[in-house]
Amino acid sequence: MGEMGGGMGGFGWGPLLWSLLLLSVVFIVGYGVYTRGRAPAPEQSQTDTALSTLRSRYARGELSEEEFEERRRRLEE
């Protein structure tokens, strides 16, 4: 008089739960790969900061136009 199949009309929940677990793992791994590929390169942000500082110094008159252009050219290489 025991039920076979674990209830709910004989439908086993095992395959459904394993499928959800597998889909969750695939989603998490895929999201991690996607966001890692979109992260900005650290070198680029350091160059942006250096250029910003260089522009500020030029605007305050601390650098001549020739000094500014030479340093900007070296940073952008």
pLDDT tens string 15-74: 888 899 999 999 999 888 887 777 665 656 777 888 899 999 999 999 899 999 999 999
Specify the pTM. 0.42
**pLDDT tens digits, residue range 54-65?**
999 999 999 899
- pLDDT tens track for 9-20: 556 778 888 899
Q: What is residue 42's three-state secondary structure? A: helix
Burial of 13-41, coded b for 16+ CB within 10 Å and e otherwise, reads eeeeeeeeeeeeeeeeeeeeeeeeeeeee
